[in-house]
Each structure stands twice: as C-alpha cells, then as structure tokens.
Structure 1
Amino acid sequence: MAVLSIFSEVLTRPSGLLWAFAVPGLLYAAVTLIYRLYWHPLSRVPGPMAARLSGWYEFYQDLILKGHLPKAVPRLHAQYGPVIRINPNRVHVDDVDFYHEVYRSNTKYHKDPAVYGNIGGVGRSLATEPDPAIHKMKRSLVRGFFSAQYISTMAPLVHKVVRNSLDEAAEYHRNGRPLDLQRMFASISAEVITQVLFGSSLDRLDRGKGKEVVLDTLDAFSHSFQLPKHFPRLAGLIMGLPASVADFLLPGYHGFRKQCESWIEQAQEKQSTGKYSGEHGRLTLFDLLLDPELVKDEEGHKISLPRPTKRELVDEVLAYYIAGTHSTGVTLSLATFYLLKNPAVVQKLRDELAALPCNKDNILEYQTLLSAPYLSAVVKEVLRIVTPIPGTLARVVPTGGVVVHGHYLPAGTSVTVHQRTVHYDSRIFPEPHIFRPERWIGPEASGLDKHQVAFSKGTRNCVGLNLASLELMLCLANFFTWFDMTLYKTNESTADWRDNALLVTKEPVRVTVDTIRK
C-alpha cells in the first residue's frame, strides 16, 4: 500500500506524469538499440554505429547532407568491407555479380515496399509497384507505347520539338544571353511525354498557361523527393493542407498534383463523350490508364486491373513526368558538360555526324542516327558516368536468405547495390571517372553492354528506355551540329550531383551559344 501511495502521489505532480511516460519510452528505446546492436539478425554485418542503431544515419545522409549517401558508400566499403549495414534492416553490397543476380529477369528479389511505397510521394505507380504480378499487368498495359516500333513512329514529332528548341537556342545566341540547358532539355522531354500520355502539346493541354509553370513545379518537386521516404505519411497529409503550407513542406508536390488532376479531368471529360483523349480522337497512353480493358496481355486476355481511382491516376502521371522530364533533362545537360570539357570528343562526334544527311528542316533524324556508332558510344558513356538514378534501389531477400561474402542475410532483409557500384567498378571500366566514349567501341567494348545498367535491367528496367535513348541521340546530335557552345559559370563544383531518388545537380548547367553552325 505504501508503494501505491507513493506512486499515486508522484502521478499527481506534473513532473511525475512526465516521468511516467518517459521511463517506459526510454526503456523501449534502450532495448531496441541493444537488440539492433547485438541480437538483430544483421548484428554481425559491419557498418557505422549510427546506421546499425537507427534509420537516422540514412536520414542524415539523405536530408541533412542532401543526398550524400551514394557518395559515402564507397568510403564505407573501403572501411568495413564488401557488405555494410546502412540502416538497421538494409545492407549495401559492393559486388557487381550480386547486382546482376538481384536485378535480373525473373528475380526472386522483389522491390522493398517500405522504400517504394513512399519514394517521391508517387504511390504505387508502375515504377514503384512492389507486387510482381500487379507490375506485370501494369507493364503489359503500357508496353506498346514504349516499344521500339512505337517510338520510331514518334520520331517525326520529336524532330519538330527538337527543331523548335534549336530555334529557341539560336535566339539566345542573337540576344547574347546564357542558356539554361537543363530547362531547355526538360522542356523538350516534357513536351514529348505529354504527347505520349495525352496526345496533345503541353501548352494546349495546359490551356494557355504555358509550360514554364509546369517546369517550375516539376523542378521544385524533384528536390523534395527524399522527404516522403523518411516521413511516409507526409505526402498523404500534404494534399489536405493549404497550398502555401504544402509548398513549404514539400515544394512543388501539391501544385503539380493539382495540375495532374486538371489534365485527368480533361481526359475523362473527353472519354465520357466516347472520344479518346488525343488530338483528332487518337488513343493515348492515358486512355489505357483510364480503361485497362482496352488492352490485352501477351496471352491475348484482357488486363484484369480495376479502373484506377483519381489518386492512382495522379500517381501514374506524376511518375511519368518526373522520370520522363527531370531525369532526361539532367542527363542531357550533364552530357553537354562532359562533352564541352572534352573538345576532342566533340570533334570526333562532329566528324561522324557531318557525313550523315539532314532532313528538309536541317535535322539529323533518329533513323539516320542509329547508324552512328560514335554517337551511340557517347550516349552509353554519358549514361554510365552520369548514372541518373545514383542511389538506393532496395530489394527484399527472398525465402531462405542468402550468404554474401560470408554474411548471412535472412529473408526479409532489405538489400541494395547502387548502379554506380557497377558503373564505377575499375575492373570493368578502367579509369571510371574519365569520360571516354572509346571504351564502348572495338575489342575493348566486348561484354560491356551487360554492365550498362542506367535503365536497370530485367523485367523491372525502365519502361521508357527507348524513348529516353531517342531523346538523348536526337538532342546531342543536333545541338552539337548546330552550335558551338561554351560553359557559362558552370564547373565541377556547380555541376556536382546529389541523390534525390533521381540525380540532381547543385546548379543547372548553363552555356553561351557562341556560333550557329547551320
């Protein structure tokens, strides 16, 4: 009774109530930390103490140091060995062969829902869907719009978009203004992905508001991608907040989702009248997202996906725009950076392209460029050295677990091998930090294509790889045959990258357009 009396007296004091809640919490935290350090199934896997104890190490690398984890990983492997713990339940493996095992076709290592359910606030879109059966149906739904054959039919449209951008860049020369290449290339990509999704130009779809607002919100959101990874409920809460508060917490997210909702409503309005959403009533990719029964799978059966909710549609559209606009824009701008830092490569590229015929609009066309081996080598080297997705692509260890370099990783462990681990392995790519397209030509190139993993590999590779390749080839070939350019207030420091789920640069790559060559 005396003990109960003392306890009752303590609880009547404010400080006593605080201790009543704090002590169990502190005990729970202490037991959790001790468990993770000594009794956790991964307790024998080395790594920084902070990473072994909690997810705050990854949070610190991602958000405080602004996407620094992929840069820290090589140093951590040098210190701790080929298998390291980067959070209590996730390991990174420095092994190219293990990469090819984890990410191959028909792999048993499926996407980690804890990561892909939260990344970028895009829900369970095609790119982030962890369930392999659902992913297969979603991919079957859209595969026709990203096949090599369909992309070839898109080429004339992309030629026109590129030609308009060349004319715009020429105006920068005449006005003596520096050109933001990331914005220029993102504008090209945004126009193309809008045509694929909705069968309309971005300006027309946006009802005269102009693409600049869209590009601004996309750019802002691309720098906020990591936040939902660590605060998974944030993206869902954002849409219920006032726009000003939402944009402060997650810049660009609220605005672009609202923009996507507007586009979706336009397409739904057309389809409700029996018309497809594209200009002249053409079937578009978005029509298929609205009504999956319009498509059959490889066996000839209707796709058995339910009609998506508006939120699911917005998730899909948002994912396509982020991947199809930001990623391509950054890659092309960094490609220009590396080329301008290597004038001998530019000259060799121009010599090859000079022998190819242009069309009536003075454009080197896609089909013509497919026969340009040095351009192909330049594109491959750009994708290798840039690596547009530099960070964690987490997979779950399947039933039975796996032993990697003497460490047993039980089923359910989250495991990753960064694409940069492959692209910067000096045994495969000697002097990996040197931009050298010649490595992709001749005897030296034997077997290298297997290790070009910028679009990942297997059945979970990037569905838009054919479209991205078309844009890379057309933009690089035509910009470098049309213009002499010089980097403007851009160097290794300003072009330095960080991981924001997608690669972002410290500042955009800018150039002056010195000469119009055509």
Structure 2
Amino acid sequence: MSYRVKKTIRYIVCWDVGVSFGSLPHAIRPVNAVSITARTPLQYLRDPKGLRKYPQLSIWSGISDLPFIIEAHKGFRSRRLSELHRNHPVVRIGPNSLSYGSHLAIKDIYGHNTKCTKDVMYDILSGSHFHLADVIDKVDHQRKRKVLSSAYAVKNLEGWEFKVADMTDRTIKAFERRCTAPPVEEGQIPKKEDLTIDFWNWANYFAVSAIANIGLSEDLGFLEQGDDLVTSERLDGSTKKAHFKECLTATAWAQSNLVWSYDCFPTLVRLSKLLSGTYRKMWRMNKDWDGIVWNRATTRLKRYQKGEKLDDFFEAMMHDKSGAPNNLEWGEIVAEISIMMNAGSDTTAIAMTNVLYFLLKNPACMAKLRQELDDTLEEEDVVAPYDKVRHLPYLRACLDEALRITPPNTFGLPRRTPPEGASILGDWIAGNTSVSMSSYVAHRDESVFPEPERYMPERWLGEAGKELQPYFVAFSAGARGCIGRNISYLEQHVLLASLLHHFDFALPSPDWEPMRREMFTCSPGSMPLKVWKRVRKE
C-alpha cells in the first residue's frame, strides 16, 4: 500500500470516528462532522438493535465502518473473516453490519424464501439504471429476470457454443505460437525466458472475447493481438484507447475499498481524489471503463439500427423469440451490457486461472483428469466439443473444487433484513441490518467441507457430491443466484479440456504461489507458465 493511500486512510479514519479535525485541510472537512461524532458512539451505547453482543472485527467496529475499510485496503477481507469465523459464527464488521460463518446461515440470508433484500451498497454503486445483479426491488428483479432469462437459457447457449469454440481455437493457436521445448527432466524448473504465457492475461483475453461475441457479436481481436487494448468512448462522441482489464480492475479496486461506509461513500470518494494520486488514477480509469461499456453498447446499437440480424444477447434483450419488443430503456440495456462485460468475463477468467493452478500443484489430480479427457476426446478434436465434455464427472469436479477453494466472488454479497426484522441462525436480527456471508468463508466450514484448504475434486463425486450442492455458493444462491453460471461453465469446460488435451504447462517453480487481491472478486494476478506441445500417452 502506497504512502499516499495510507495517509488518505488516516484522514478518513479521523473523519469517520470523530477524532479532531484540526489536521485536515479546511476544504475537505465534512460539514456534518459534529453530528456524526456525537451520534455514533451514543448509538453503540444505546445498542437499539442488540448487535453489541456479537464479537467484533475491531474494537471500533461498533461505531465505525473504518476497520472494514482498512481491512479492504489490506487486500483480502474474506481471509481475515475466515480466521474470525473459526471461533465465532457471527462477527460484527460495522455499526450496522454482521458477517456469518456457518453454512446454516446460507438459507436464511440467500435462500429462495428469504425476506432479506439486496443491501444499500447496490443502490450506491448503480448507475442511472439498475442491471439484473444490482436491482434491489424484488418485483423489478422479477421483471428483468423474465426478460433476460431467455437470453441466458441453456438452449441459447448451445446455439452460441460455436462462438466459445472459435475463441478456444484462437487461444490454442496463440499458445502454439508461444510453445517452448519440452523439459529435459520431469519437474525441471523452467528458464525465465521459457515462461512465455501469463495465463491470467490470456484467460482474460479469452473470457472477454467470448462474452463480447456471445453478447454483442463483436470480435475484439484480443487473442490475435495478445493485448486487451479497446476503444473507450466519451459521451461527446470522442474516443481513446484503453486497456480493458486495467480499467475494470481500477474501478473494482477503488469502489471495493471505500463503499463499506454507505452514508459516507460520496465523501470518501471526494477525499480519496483530493489526497491520493493512486486514487485519482483509479477514478480516471473508472471513467475509461464507463467509456468502454458505452462504446460496446453504441457500436452494437448502430448495427441493430442498420438492420443486421445477429444471434446474440443484445438481440435477446431487444425483443422476445416471437419478435415482440421487450421495451427496455436504453439505460437498462447499457447497464446489462456493463454487468455482462464485467462479471461475464472477470469471474470466468479467475475460475480458469485457479483451476489450472490447482491442477499443476496436484499432479495426481491432473493425471486423473487427463485420463478422463483422453478416454473421451479424439486426436483430431482440436477444440473439445461441449457435448463430449459437459457431463464428464471428474472434469466438473475439478472445476467445482477450484471454485470452492477460491470462488471468484469471494466477498459477502450483502443483504438487508426487512423492516420488521428476520431470523438468522436462530437469532432475531432487527430490521434494516446488513447481513452477509462470504463464499470464501462458507466454503471453509469444516462441518461441510473437511480439510477445506486441500484440493480434493473427489469430494464432488457421486451422492456425497450432490449433498454438498446446497452449501456451494460460488454463484450465490436462491432467486438472486448468478444467471450467467451456464455461460461460465460452458466456457470453462471447453477451454480447460481443449488446453489440457493439447498442451503441458509448468509453473515457475514447485513452491510458486499466486498473489491474490480481493476486490469484489478475488484476482489471482499474474501466472507465468512454460507451455509445450503435449505428447499423448497411449
């Protein structure tokens, strides 16, 4: 963490908990500082919601959200929560926020019959229009889901498989151009110059390219370029070039560091821009991200207006199968394109990077998966046909076990109890309280997942695996579960099977570990690999 960012946090801490404002520049002193300073500790003492009985993230968590914001800046909130939840099923992480660690809370918070709704956070971060993932009102969510469910239906995905196959073929060709000589000895540490693939980058090139083609019939060319440079368009029509992943990461980094103090978020944004060059850079790239989404939307709209008939997600948003218009507002369409390009690429890239990492670290699992693939695929299967690999039990088990240990969406998707309150883990929680459970924490509940840090795909096989499904929340759960999970599984099955069928890979060293950074998703970061043509064993 840079000195300027640390200094920014210290200023914010002073503002949030009510320490003297004498050292703050006059221009950034909050006008309501006195009322907040007087009110918050008093509320803690009065404890109107009965939350003081719960163990706290910090001794200050009962009066301020700053401890959680500081934890966010450290880069892995969920790991810290996991440590706390080993001894405490409920932890207070803010004045009005509770985190849960028992699998029994999943149904209460996220289940189909829960009375909890999306938390205020989604309203704060939304643009002019809600998209399906952040819309709070349940009736509006049902309306949106009805319109978009046909676009995400399995039948549609099967029709779009050729788009995933095309991007997989391009990835294979790119890897072939970067292949190195096989190692002389098994387990030999690669030379630095032989680490020709940064798999994290290439997983992103693949995932973004695939979702852009599925969603907008757009060929971004990332896999040919080996780069994610793309057009960003301002509202005045002027354009610039920007890096897709860099802008998306900057947006998530800045927002996920500061959003946890809901009432104060706009002020924290202004403070961060004033006090930190790092934050100023991130917020500028956030504007570039908005421009990337806007350009994707306007480019596709122009093609639609010209009468191009394209089978993609955009077309499904515009009208139903019978041709009747869905009458979505343009702002809604842009919002849906935004979440599609964001969550529809980032989570799949994370999942792909993680599963390959775990397989390389667990050679016995890799050998077992390779045998399953070799028994299924022919030598001439350049791209693994989805019909051949979609039901392979060990392949799916390998994917799900990686999603369990390192779910892409690690952070606790916050929900809010209804005004009348709700029962969670047998306790009555007062109304309008934020409650959440990190999937990273849920997947480490040892009563459900013994040896939670161990990569064991076998746990997902057979009847025992089916019994684990209610506690597998990599895609959340209940009515608000991820509508795009089928797209992600399609891409993961086809790409992983195809790459392992054709190539061998090696990490930089046997003890190499990824540098994970949690934002809203948990990025594994750069993963340099040696790649060479695989010789299939008969």
TM-score for the superposition, normalised by structure 2: 0.80
Asked if residue 203 in structure 1 is aligned to residue 224 in structure 2, the reply is no
Asked if residue 180 in structure 1 is aligned to residue 198 in structure 2, the reply is yes
Name stretches of at least 5 consecutive residues in structure 1 with no aligned partner: 1-13
Asked if residue 124 in structure 1 is aligned to residue 144 in structure 2, the reply is no
Asked if residue 217 in structure 1 is aligned to residue 257 in structure 2, the reply is no
Q: Give the equivalent residue in structure 1 for 2:519.
A: 500
Give 1:65-104 correspondences, 5 Å limit.
65-66=74-75, 68-78=76-86, 81-104=88-111
Give 1:119-518 correspondences, 5 Å limit.
119=125, 124-174=130-180, 176-203=194-221, 213-227=243-257, 229-230=259-260, 232-233=265-266, 248-250=281-283, 252-273=285-306, 275-276=307-308, 281-289=309-317, 291=318, 294-295=319-320, 303=326, 306-309=328-331, 312-358=332-378, 360=380, 362-404=382-424, 407-488=427-508, 491=511, 493=513, 495-505=514-524, 507-517=525-535
Q: Is the 8 A contact 1:121 1:228 kept in 2?
A: no
Tell me the CA shift for residue 400 of structure 1. 3.3
Q: Deviation digits for residues 292-341 of structure 1, max 9, x if unmatched?
A: xx2389xx9975x65133xx444332221111112111211111111000
Q: Secondary structure at the match of 2:532?
A: strand
Q: Which has the higher helix share?
A: 1
Report the aligned-residue RMSD.
3.5
Tell me the CA shift for residue 345 of structure 1. 0.6
Tell me the CA shift for residue 254 of structure 1. 1.3
Tell me the CA shift for residue 134 of structure 1. 1.1
Q: Give the equivalent residue in structure 1 for 2:53.
A: 44
Q: Secondary structure at the match of 2:98?
A: strand
Q: Give the equivalent residue in structure 1 for 2:116.
A: 109
Q: Deviation digits for residues 163-210 of structure 1, max 9, x if unmatched?
A: 110111121114944211111111111111111221221239x99995
Tell me the CA shift for residue 132 of structure 1. 1.2
Q: Is the 8 A contact 1:247 1:253 kept in 2?
A: no
Q: Secondary structure at the match of 1:432?
A: coil
Tell me the CA shift for residue 359 of structure 1. 8.1
Name stretches of at least 5 consecutive residues in structure 2 with no aligned partner: 1-21, 181-192, 231-241
Q: 2: CA distance between counterparts of 1:32 and 1:54?
A: 8
Match of 2:61, as an amino acid? A
Q: Deviation digits for residues 373-421 of structure 1, max 9, x if unmatched?
A: 1111111111111111111211111243234456431111111112123
- Relative to structure 1, the CA distance from residue 27 to residue 398 in structure 2 (aligned partners, 3 Å threshold; closer, same or farther) is closer
Q: Secondary structure at the match of 2:61?
A: helix
Q: 2: CA distance between counterparts of 1:24 and 1:69?
A: 29
Q: Is the 8 A contact 2:104 2:425 kept in 1?
A: no
Match of 1:434, as an amino acid? R
Tell me the CA shift for residue 232 of structure 1. 4.1
Q: Is the 8 A contact 1:181 1:511 kept in 2?
A: yes
Match of 2:64, as an amino acid? S
Q: Is the 8 A contact 2:107 2:114 kept in 1?
A: no
- Relative to structure 1, the CA distance from residue 361 to residue 344 in structure 2 (aligned partners, 3 Å threshold; closer, same or farther) is closer
- Relative to structure 1, the CA distance from residue 377 to residue 361 in structure 2 (aligned partners, 3 Å threshold; closer, same or farther) is closer
Q: Give the equivalent residue in structure 2 for 1:7.
A: none
Q: Is the 8 A contact 2:251 2:282 kept in 1?
A: no
- Relative to structure 1, the CA distance from residue 132 to residue 517 in structure 2 (aligned partners, 3 Å threshold; closer, same or farther) is farther
Q: Deviation digits for residues 413-444 of structure 1, max 9, x if unmatched?
A: 11111212321111111101000111111353
Q: Secondary structure at the match of 2:248?
A: helix
Q: Secondary structure at the match of 2:254?
A: coil
Q: Give the equivalent residue in structure 2 for 1:10.
A: none
Q: Is the 8 A contact 2:126 2:134 kept in 1?
A: no
Q: Deviation digits for residues 330-386 of structure 1, max 9, x if unmatched?
A: 211111111000011111111111111348552221110023211111111111111
Q: 2: CA distance between counterparts of 1:346 and 1:143?
A: 35
Q: 1: CA distance between counterparts of 2:475 and 2:461?
A: 20
Tell me the CA shift for residue 475 of structure 1. 1.6
Higher alpha-carbon Rg:
1
- Relative to structure 1, the CA distance from residue 156 to residue 265 in structure 2 (aligned partners, 3 Å threshold; closer, same or farther) is closer
Q: Secondary structure at the match of 1:265?
A: helix
Tell me the CA shift for residue 117 of structure 1. 2.0
Q: Secondary structure at the match of 1:513?
A: strand
Q: Is the 8 A contact 2:370 2:500 kept in 1?
A: yes
Q: Deviation digits for residues 90-117 of structure 1, max 9, x if unmatched?
A: 10122212212321124311111x2112
Q: Secondary structure at the match of 1:34?
A: helix
Q: Give the equivalent residue in structure 1 for 2:185.
A: none
Q: Secondary structure at the match of 2:178?
A: helix
Q: 1: CA distance between counterparts of 2:329 and 2:155?
A: 27
Q: Give the equivalent residue in structure 1 for 2:189.
A: none
Match of 1:308, as an amino acid? W
Q: 2: CA distance between counterparts of 1:166 and 1:71?
A: 35
Q: 2: CA distance between counterparts of 1:449 and 1:25?
A: 47
Q: Is the 8 A contact 1:93 1:417 kept in 2?
A: yes
- Relative to structure 1, the CA distance from residue 249 to residue 22 in structure 2 (aligned partners, 3 Å threshold; closer, same or farther) is closer
- Relative to structure 1, the CA distance from residue 177 to residue 447 in structure 2 (aligned partners, 3 Å threshold; closer, same or farther) is closer
Q: Give the equivalent residue in structure 1 for 2:69.
A: 59
